[in-house]
């Protein structure tokens, strides 16, 4: 049998709400940060090697204003988005859950990057609407969403003792 991990919405479990939110914030950040380094950047590597992505993965170029390497900055923001996903993923339907987290990751962070981040960095809105950039953003961020959800489920199973199968009692 597959592992049965709880994904109840916040406030719908036996714990207190403040504790649940604090746990979601911490685990969401860790999940999103790690998913950026693994799922986001490795999918970017594949797209880069296939000649689809306009930029390479694991960029160590310093970012403004603190000079942090770009991949660490991306991971930080992946952690922030991971908090958002951790707070809402319990409301996603079980049927279609993985597609929902892919679409969440593919659309919301991509829209923020394309309409807010790029213009703040002096680049054209939407990255100039280059199809390869748009495809890359959707795919790598969608896979980040799936990776974050995998980590969240793994953390939930480890923290509440539910990593055993349903038949284990």
For 99-116, the pLDDT digits (tens) are: 999 999 999 999 999 999
Considering the domain boundaries, does residue 149 fall inside one? yes
Considering the domain boundaries, does residue 167 fall inside one? no
Considering the domain boundaries, does residue 95 fall inside one? yes
pLDDT at residue 47 is higher than 90: yes
Cα Rg for the chain, rounded, in angstroms? Answer: 17
Q: Which of 117, 47, 115, 106 is nearest to 77 (CA)?
A: 117
Q: For the chain, what is the domain count?
A: 1
pLDDT at residue 167 is higher than 70: no
Q: State the first-to-last Cα distance of the chain, in angstroms, to the nearest integer.
A: 12
Considering the domain boundaries, does residue 122 fall inside one? yes
Q: Is the pTM here over 0.95, yes or no?
A: no
Considering the domain boundaries, does residue 43 fall inside one? yes
Considering the domain boundaries, does residue 168 fall inside one? no
Considering the domain boundaries, does residue 87 fall inside one? yes
Considering the domain boundaries, does residue 8 fall inside one? no
Separation CA 73–CA 36 (nearest Å): 10
């Amino acid at each position: 049998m597959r592992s049965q991990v709880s994904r109840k919405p916040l406030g719908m479990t036996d714990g207190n709400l403040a504790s649940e939110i604090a746990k979601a914030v911490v685990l969401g950040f860790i999940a999103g940060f790690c998913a950026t380094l693994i799922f986001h950047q490795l999918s970017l590597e594949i797209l880069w090697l296939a000649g689809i992505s306009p930029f390479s993965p694991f960029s160590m170029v310093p970012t403004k204003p603190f000079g942090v390497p770009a991949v660490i900055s991306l991971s930080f923001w992946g952690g922030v988005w991971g908090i958002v996903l951790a707070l809402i993923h319990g409301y996603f339907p079980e049927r279609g859950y993985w597609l929902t987290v892919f679409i969440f990751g593919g659309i919301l962070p991509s829209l923020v990057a394309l309409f807010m981040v790029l213009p703040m960095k002096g680049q054209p809105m939407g990255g100039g609407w280059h199809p390869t950039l748009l495809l890359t953003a959707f795919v790598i961020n969608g896979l980040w969403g799936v990776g974050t959800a995998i980590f969240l489920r793994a953390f939930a199973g480890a923290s509440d003792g539910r990593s055993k199968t349903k038949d284990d009692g």
